[in-house]
Structure 1
Amino acid sequence: MPVNLKPACLFIAIILLAARVQAQETSFIKDINYPYLEKLIATAKKNYPEVKARQSQVAAAKGLYNATAFSWLDVLTASYIYSPQTSINISQPTIFKGYQIAISLNIGQLFSRPGTIRQAKETYKVAQYQQAEYMLSLEAQVKRFYFAFLEAQAELRLRSNAVIDAESAVKQLKYAFQKGETTFQIYNEQLNSLYNQNSFKVQAELATFTAKTNLEELLGTKLEDVK
C-alpha cells in the first residue's frame, strides 16, 4: 500500500511557517516600561552598598575640608604667665605682676595652611566626581540588566511556544504514522525536534533566572518588591 506523504508534509510546512511568523512577532521592545525602569534605578541607588560607601567617602572628605578651612587658629598658640604681686625675681625681673597672656605665631603653619586647605577642597571635589561617575555607571548597569532580563523573557516565550508547536506536530505525526500516512523517519525527526526545543527552553529558563538574579543584585531586593 503506498504511503501518502502529502498531508504530513503539508502539516509540517504549516507548523514551520507559523513558527517563523511567531519569531518575527516576538520582541522585547514592546515590554520596556520606562517609568518602572526609573523605579529600578532609584531602588538601586538607594540600596546598593557601593552607593552608601561613596556617600560616606564624600561625607568624610567634606568633613575634612570643613575642619581644615576653619583651622586658621592652629597657627596661634596662647599661653599665660602668673607673677605674684609680692614675689621678686632677681634673675628675670618683670615689670608686670599678676596674670600675663602670651600669643605666639607659627610662621611655617601660617604659610602652609592655604595649600592644606586647597588640597582638602580638591579631595572633596574628587570624592564628589567619583560619586557622580559611579551613579551614572550604576544607572547604565541597571538598564543593561533590565533589557537583558526582558530579552531573556522574550526568548523564553519564543522557546515555550516552539515546544507547544513541536508537541502538536508530534501528536499529529504520531496519528498519521499509526494510520500509515507518514514514515517513521519523519515522525522520528519530529521527536528529535521536540527534544531540541525542550532543551532550548531549559536554556532560556536558565538565562531568564540568571538575568533576574543579576538585576536583583543591583537592586538589593527582589524584583517583585519594586512596585
Structure 2
Amino acid sequence: MKIQVLSVFILLFLVLHKQSANAQESIVQDISEVYVDKLVNVARQNYPRVKSFQSRVDVAKANVSIASVSIFDALSLSYIYQPENVTVVDPSNPGTRFFQGLQLGVFINLGTILRTPMNIKRAKAERRVAESERDEYQLTLAAEVKRRYYLYIQRVGQLKTQTRAWQESENGIKDIEYRYKKGEATFETFNTAQVQLTQRRTQKIESEANVFISKSDLEEMLGEKLENIK
C-alpha cells in the first residue's frame, strides 16, 4: 500500500513537471518583431563596422567628383607680361623688337583629356562596389542581430523552465523527506530526489550564465544596454 501511494505521488510529480515544461516550450509569444526591427536600427546607428562601410562609400563618391573635374587638369594657362616702357632688343638682330604688354597662352594635354572619361567610369564603378558592400553588410548585420536576440529569448525561456523545475524539485523533496522520516519512502527514493534537486540547481545556474552571455553578445552589436532600448 505504501509503495502504491509513493508511486502515485512520484507519477503526479512528473506529470505536473511535464505540464510546467510544456508551458515554456514556445517562445513565440515573447518575441516582438517591432522590437527586433528597433534593435536592428540601433545596431546600424552604433556598430563601428557600419560606419566604416559608410565611410568607404563617402570616399568613393568624393573620388567620382574628383575624377569629373580632372578634365581641367588638361588645360593650363600661362602669360607673359612685358612693360611697355621697356624695350627688349635681340642682340643678333638689332632690328627685331620683342612684344610688349600682356601675352596669354593656353596649353592642352591630350593624354589627360583621353584618360578623364575612363577615370570617371572607374570611380563610379568603385562607388557602386562600395555601396553594394555596405548594403550587403546591412543585411548581414540585421540577420546577426536577430539571431542573437532570438537566442537570448530562447535562453531566457530555458531559465524560466529550469527555475520552475528547480522549485518543484525543492517542494517535492520536502514531501519525500517527510515520507522518508515516517517510513513511507525508502532511502533510495529520498537519495534519488536529492540527486535530482542538485541537478536541477546546476541546470538553473548554467541557464543563468547562458542568459548573461547571450545578453552580452547582443549588446555588443547594439552598442548600448538592452534595458535602454524601449
Tell me the TM-score normalised to structure 1 length: 0.94
Q: Cα distance, 1:95 vs. partner? A: 6.3
1:186 aligns with: 189
Matches within 5 A, 1:85-104: 85=84, 86-90=86-90, 96-104=99-107
Give the partner amino acid of 1:83.
Q
Distance 2:136 2:45 in 1: 16
Pairing 1:197–2:195 present:
no
Give the partner amino acid of 1:191.
Q
CA deviation profile, 1:10-31 (whole Å, cap 9, x unmatched): 1111111112222222121110
Distance 1:157 1:103 in 2: 82
Distance 2:77 2:97 in 1: 19
CA deviation profile, 1:149-196 (whole Å, cap 9, x unmatched): 000001000100110111111001000000100100000000000001
Matches within 5 A, 1:9-88: 9-26=7-24, 27-85=26-84, 86-88=86-88
Length, aligned pairs only: 225
Q: Which one of 169, 173, 192 corresponds to residue 172 of structure 2?
A: 169
* Counterparts in 2 of 1:139 and 1:89: CA distance versus 1, 3 Å: farther
Stretches (4+) displaced over 6 A: none
Distance 2:167 2:7 in 1: 19
- Residue 71 of structure 1 aligns to a residue whose secondary structure is helix
Q: Cα distance, 1:210 vs. partner? A: 0.8
* Counterparts in 2 of 1:207 and 1:94: CA distance versus 1, 3 Å: farther
- Residue 77 of structure 2 aligns to a residue whose secondary structure is strand
Compare relative contact order (CA 8 Å, sep 6+) and give the higher one, 1 or 2.
1
Distance 1:38 1:6 in 2: 55
Give the partner amino acid of 1:16.
L
Matches within 5 A, 1:97-112: 97-112=100-115
Distance 2:97 2:207 in 1: 95
Structure 2: runs of 5+ lacking an equivalent: none
1:133 aligns with: 136
Distance 2:151 2:31 in 1: 11
* Counterparts in 2 of 1:182 and 1:37: CA distance versus 1, 3 Å: same
Identity %: 33
CA deviation profile, 1:22-54 (whole Å, cap 9, x unmatched): 222212111001111111111111111111111
Distance 1:124 1:147 in 2: 35
Distance 1:41 1:58 in 2: 21
2:2 aligns with: 4
Distance 1:155 1:94 in 2: 101
